[in-house]
Each structure stands twice: as structure tokens, then as C-alpha cells.
Amino acid sequence: MDHQPLFIYLFLLLSVTISTAGAYVDADRSIKLFVFGGSYVDTGNRDSRARSWKEPYGITDPGRPAGHFSDGQVFTEYIASRMGIKSPTPYRFRKIRPIKYGMNFAYGGTGVFDTLVAAPNMTEQIDLFEQLLQEKIYTTDNLKFSTALVSASGMDYRIYLARRGSLRGFPAFIISVVNQLGLDVQRIHDLGVPQVAVMGMQPLGCLPEFTRGYSYEKCNATGNFAALYHNLLLVKKLKPESKFVVLNMYNAFMSAMKKFENETETSKSKNPLRPCCTGITSEYRCGDVENKEKKYNVCIDPKLAFFWDWFRPTQAGWDAIVSELGSSIVSLF
């Protein structure tokens, strides 16, 4: 019996499912999620020098550092779960992990514009996505049932304030950030992603970085005003319709923190503004180690804390936030 035709068929079948780099070329039309942004959605793109790969990050899930800027899961995994798919592979691991469910281009610490972190900003992340399309790693047909999740700009504002930028010039800077973000979101859609979900700005003034000056007792009004102004401009810019969804993270955070406080009122951790992991003094941060000595403290039970470190929620915090977003997440699928 001549086995040559069968061999040729198997060879051709294999050649269209494996790329020359060793990653799988996704030839199907399954649901996919493409993620862009910073630490709220990064699932492992930063290299091993980042604190997301060091203790005590990941202490809750998976029980060790895994590249997430939290004690456990971050927002990406909640969205992917509700889409009925696995969390998309970080771009960094694209050649060694399946890419069937999409890809995560987010890098913790980055923003719409360049920040203090030497990693791709939003525009550069989209460049990476476009490059994969040009290489036919994903095709137009692959993208027909895809969604993009965008989380950026919080770091832009933190950097602006850290550099002691003029508050008088802050509104103009917010406008520039939103304008660029609008261009980035439209570009993702133009590349073939039918729907783009953009995370609105969370209440910046309630992040522990800004509340520690008030002994974690109240939020910073200036930070919250900036977030509200950002969200107002963003909704106006995108004119949310079927192709764009703006997730109201501001209200979700505020409602979740209130409920979190009520549900843990009998606990010593009832203050949602107080982070679980902090440096032993103001000069240190969560995860800092000096001469092999830990320079941070971790709360007894992260499940009773809303914020993990100065900027990011715990897994329990994300649980509460996602619960508050409710139907707005359902509308994505």
C-alpha cells in the first residue's frame, strides 16, 4: 500500500498548525481575548526582576510568585473566566504556551505614554499585536469572535503627580492622555477586533499610595477628581456603542470598598483603604528585600484586605469589584 499521500496530508496539516517559531498558529474561530495595559491586567510579561515575580506576590494563588501584581488573580483572569476561556498567554511566553485563547500584551508599570518602567507603552503593545497579524499568527478570520481588554493611564497620572507636575496643568495632561487612549482603542478595533472593553479610571485618590498621608482614613479629593474628569472625557471620546464598552471602574471600586468594609466590620482589617502588604518604613515597598532581609510586612489574612499593595487590589478585592461590575461585564460576550 502506498502511504505517500497520507504522509503528505499529515505534513500539510502539521505545517498550518505550527509556526516556524514553535508557537501554535490558531486556525480556528474560537473566542479570544487580547489584553493591553498595565499591572491591573498583566499576567506575567514583566521579567524576573519585577516584584510580581518575587515573594510575597502570588501568596494566595497559586501560592508562589507567578508574575501577577497581586496576592492572586488579577482582572484579566476574571474576564477570561466569564468568557468561558482560559486566561490568554502573556506575550513573553507566546512561543512556549498555547495561544488559542488570545494573548496578553500588558506590562505592569506602563501607561498610555512612557513611564519610569522600561517596557512597551500602549502604542508599542499594539505594535506587537499588529506584528503578529502581519506574521499571520492570527488572521482576520481568527479575530471575528475576539474581544480586547484595555487598562491603562493610571500610571501616567501617578508619574505626573510624582514628578510634581503643576496641578494647573493637570487637566490639560488628562486631555492628552484620553486623546491618545482614544486613538489606541480605535486602532485595536481597526486591526480587526470587533469589540474593545476599556477600563475606566478607578478612584485614584483612594489608592493606598494617596491615602497613607491620611492614615488610610480617607481618599484624596484631587486624585478622585482627576479620575472622574478622565472618565467623563473617555466616555465622550469613545461614544460607547456596540464596538466600545467603557467599564465603570470608579463606581465599582467605590461600591466594592463600601461593601467590603461592611462585611469585615468585625475584623481588624475592616479598613479597605489600608493595604495588606507594606514596607516596614516609608522608604520600602511590598516585596523589598535588603541583604536577604525582608523589608515588608504582610497582613494576617489577605482575604480580609481590599488592597494588596500601594496601588493594586487583592484577589478578594478583585472578586468584590467584578461582582459590582455585574451586567456591564456580561454585555461583553
Q: Is the pLDDT of residue 239 over 90?
A: no
Report the share of the chain in percent with pLDDT over 70.
88
Residue 282 known to be catalytic: no
H/E run at residue 298: strand 296-298
Crossing angle of the two packed helices 249-263 and 221-238, in degrees rounded to 10: 140
Pair 99, 89: CB distance under 8 Å: yes
State the average pLDDT over residues 228-242: 91
Per-residue pLDDT band at 267 (split at 50, 70, 90): low
Least confident of 14-18, 52-56, 127-131, 213-217: 14-18
Residue 39 known to be catalytic: yes
Q: Is the pLDDT of residue 18 over 70?
A: no
State the average pLDDT over residues 87-114: 97
Q: Is the pLDDT of residue 115 over 50?
A: yes
The C-alpha cell at 180 is 491618545
Distance CA(60)–CA(53), nearest Å, equals 14
Query: Catalytic residue among 39, 70, 146, 153, which?
Result: 39
CATH topology of domain 28-204+212-256: Rossmann fold (3.40.50)
Q: Is the pLDDT of residue 134 over 90?
A: yes
Pair 190, 149: CB distance under 8 Å: no
Query: Catalytic residue among 42, 71, 156, 309, which?
Result: 309
pTM, two decimals, is 0.89
